[in-house]
Amino acid sequence: MLTQPLLLIGQVATLSGIGIKTIRYYEELGLIRADDRTDGGFRQFSPQVMMRLAFIKRAQSLGLSLNEIKQCLEVYDRGELPCGEVRHQLEEKVTEIDKKIEQLLTLKQELQQLLNHWEPSEHSTWGDRHSPICPIIQNESTTGA
């Protein structure tokens, strides 16, 4: 059985499209680990690190944090498929997105209400230093405050 040669960190960076500093950071967090070091102290990685890095990139693109990704990789490192953990994390992301959408719709409605009541002519002159900065957004009747 042939063993594949270990990759230096620069090779891993080139092949993965992930910067060297980021790879070192992932190693510091425990997401990946070097398999060995050269006599000169350079990190060497097995080619399997590419699969892990691809997983990390994809999971991040789906909104998972590095901590959440680490939890999934810990399940994998115990010899189990982390699909249940990934599903749980993605379900939580969907719930978070639903909440954010609701908050954004509320904000949009408030902004639209302010714009619908915009009467710039009555607020076109500057008073003194004690007057509101912009009466339209500081008027309690239009903000609901």
Query: What digits encode the pLDDT tens for the residues 13-64?
Result: 999 999 999 999 999 999 999 998 988 988 999 999 999 999 999 999 999 9
Q: How far apart are the first and last CA of the chain?
A: 73
Measured distance CA(36)–CA(50) in Å, rounded: 16
Predicted structure pTM score: 0.74
Which residues span the domain enclosing 144?
94-117+131-145
Q: Are residues 10 and 60 in the same domain?
A: yes
Q: Cα dihedral sign for 99, 105, 106, 111?
A: positive
Q: In the chain, how many domains are there? A: 2
Instruction: Judge whether 89 lies within some domain.
Output: no
Enter the tokens of residue 63: 């909104």
Q: Are residues 53 and 1 in the same domain?
A: yes
What pLDDT is attached to residue 138?
75
Measured distance CA(141)–CA(3) in Å, rounded: 73
CA 39 to centroid of chain Cα atoms = 36
Which CATH number belongs to the domain containing residue 43 in this structure?
1.10.1660.10
